[in-house]
Amino acid sequence: MSSGERDVRRDTDRGGRLEGKVVLVTGAAQGIGAACARRMASEGAHLWLNDLSPTLGDLVDALSEQGVRVRGEQGDASDVGFVNAWVERCVAEWGRIDVLYNNVGISRNGLIGELSDADWHDQQRLTLDTVFYATRAVLPHLVRGGGGSIVSMSSGAGIGGNYGLGGYAAAKAGVINLMETVAMEYGPQGVRANSVTPGPTATAPLLAYLEQLPGGMDAQVAGLDLQRLTRPEEVAEIVLWLASDESSSVTGTCIRSNIRAASHRPI
């Protein structure tokens, strides 16, 4: 078992920061999503997971073996019908929702003048629509339950643009703005909404991509604030904090970490 896949059973000396809370996670099968699911499970969360990949079942099985209350459904988070039904099934089985973590997103390389319609629409659909559909679906349940937390994955590209990834950058900027608007509209009902920009993160696809670029890994991380990639487990700690009551007064905020200065071309 790797450090990223360690036994997630809660350390009772620390206490469960999400003890008994029902947490929905999209894009949970691997990478950042899986790291966040494991970390929140370690703090006592009941997990209702989703991913398009069938490997989601491996994570669900592993967590179940460790005593975590968890369900997983394979499906397309950009399909509004699936998302609505997925949320309703959670409420029907577990009675409420406390936290939503939106993790789905994709990027396509290409200068703005060269992007195809398909590439543009796919990035908006999978990166921004997925956040909107899940957020809209859970809001009535969060309000009915007296409040809760929505955390959505954005990107440094959504703050300062991203050379060659303009469609992705536009979608991620939309994620930040959407969370700020939800915070404004639903804060009086106890709903908090925040976003996270983790910086380039050491997931398998990104590692493989960076090694193919000129200069390899060292050249690509040289301009980052920390001059290294962020680890998925580091992102999970930020998401956990925003999901928990420890950040009970934090809303409408984008937590920025380890991104390049605006004068550089970001990864």
- Active-site pick, 163, 168, 186, 209: 168
**DSSP element (H, E) containing 71:** strand 70-74
Reference 123, options 170, 175, 168; nearest CA is 168
168 classed as catalytic: yes
Give start and end residues of each alpha helix (H) in 43-107: 56-65, 80-94
DSSP sequence for 171-215: HHHHHHHHHHHHHHHHGGGTEEEEEEE--SB--HHHHHHHHTSTT
**90-96 contacts at long range (C-beta below 8 A, 24 or more positions apart):** 90/22, 90/24, 90/48, 91/141, 94/22, 94/46, 94/48, 95/22, 96/22, 96/141, 96/144, 96/145
- For residues 130 and 133, what is the distance between their CA atoms, to the nearest angstrom? 5
Q: Answer whether 165's CB lies under 8 Å from 171's CB.
A: no
41 Cβ partners below 8 Å, 6+ apart?
Answer: 8, 47, 63, 66, 68, 70
Reference 196, options 150, 262, 129, 130; nearest CA is 150
**DSSP element (H, E) containing 148:** strand 148-153
DSSP one-letter code for 252:
S
Q: Name the one residue in this structure whose structure tokens are 């300062």.
A: 160
Tell me which residues are annotated as active site.
168
